Amino acid sequence: MMFSMSMLSMSALDQDAYRHRRVMITGGLGFIGSNLARQLLELGAEVLLVDSLIPEYGGNLFNLEGVESRVRVNVADVRDEYSMRYLVAGQDYLFNLAGQTSHLDSMRDPFTDLDINCRSQLSILEVCRKINPGIRIVFASTRQIYGVPDYLPVDERHLLHPTDVNGINKMAGERYHIVYNNVYGLRSCALRLTNTYGPRMRIKDARQTFLGWWIFQILEGRPIEVFGNGTQLRDFNYVDDVVTALLLAGICDDMYGHVFNLGSEEFISLRDLAELLVEVNGRGEFHQVPFPPERKVIDIGDYYSDYRKIREQLGWVPTVPLREGLRRTLEYFQRHIDHYR
């Protein structure tokens, strides 16, 4: 069953839209992909997870703990067009979450970032166009493509001027999805994610998110390092809310061909976030340290999203407050830290 924007709300996920549907998730063993897979299983979908398990990225087999027998897993790289041709065939939905997320890595090794975040996205779309043109695609884009905001909150009409190679390539990958929707009728849309956090995120370094690294530091008994004066503002989405947005986007025909910001009514300075994290954890400390030069030149300053478009057209709003999300995240990693070191 497909839904129009006029009839769609979050209650639509109680329907049978995903029951017995074949759903493929690239980056499926990663943070968002594994959480999405768990919810799809609850909705009765047949789930295929595709992940390269390259150590520098977010894939982790432990993310499937408890549901291993209920999903299919194929270890493949999205850059491998021949594998993608086989895997895409017969799928009803593709949640395209695979990507290289480290901004610093993109500057140190721009051609790998180009291959994963740009060229491979075009390759996936070409495979879908030729092998399975009826598939529905939701692409995980990023607020990073906006660069340094010209105004706040940032809406979808804001100019795109990314500050690093990662942002440029993610911008191109997003536009490929929209062009293939508009020109070839390959139903694709994009959600521009802000700072997503929660269980199963990569925490052993800052490649995926600085907040994950902060959580690792505080659980290891190390002081959190806040760069600069810590006044930069950010907004955050708990992973369950992001999963809901992805699922709603997939079943709404009117979403295709459009881009949508995710965001939150809560935004917080990095210094206050560090204080909150220590408070929720019940112990720990943070230090303010000078900005590393390689990070300073690509820092975007204050950022928080205007997500009215997806709220008005899909009925999506974040439901998990930041304090509660941090509590759940810390609780998860306190139990399972050994699997994320």
Q: What pTM value is reported for the model?
A: 0.94
Residue pair 173/141 in contact (Cβ under 8 Å)? The answer is yes
Render pLDDT for 135-188 as a digit per residue (tens, 0 to 9). 999 999 999 999 999 999 999 999 999 998 899 999 999 999 999 999 999 999
Following CA atoms 23, 29, 31, 35 in sequence, which dihedral angle do they give, to the nearest 10 degrees?
A: 40
Give CA angle at 261 (32, 102), nearest 5°. 50
Q: CA-to-CA distance for 321 and 111, rounded, in angstroms?
A: 38
- What the chain holds in terms of domains, given with CATH numbers, is 10-198+236-264+305-320 (3.40.50.720)
Whole-number Å distance between alpha carbons of 28 and 59 = 7
Contacts with 218 (C-beta within 8 Å, 6 or more apart), sequence order: 224, 277, 278, 281, 284, 330
* Pairing status of strand 259-261 against strand 188-193: parallel
Distances (CA, A) of 227 to 107, 287, 291, 311: 19, 9, 5, 33
How do beta strands 195-197 and 267-269 pair?
unpaired
* Model confidence pLDDT, tens digit, residues 314-337: 999 999 999 999 999 999 999 999
Q: Residue 190: which of 226, 233, 160 has the closest Cα?
A: 160
Per-residue pLDDT of the chain (341 residues; tens, 9 = 90+): 454 443 344 555 666 899 999 999 999 999 999 999 999 999 999 999 999 888 777 789 999 999 999 999 999 988 888 899 999 999 999 999 988 777 777 788 999 888 888 999 999 999 999 999 999 999 999 999 999 999 999 999 999 999 988 999 999 999 999 999 999 999 999 999 999 999 999 999 877 789 999 999 999 999 999 998 999 999 999 999 999 999 999 999 889 999 999 999 999 999 999 999 999 999 999 999 988 888 778 788 899 999 999 999 999 999 999 999 999 999 999 999 999 99
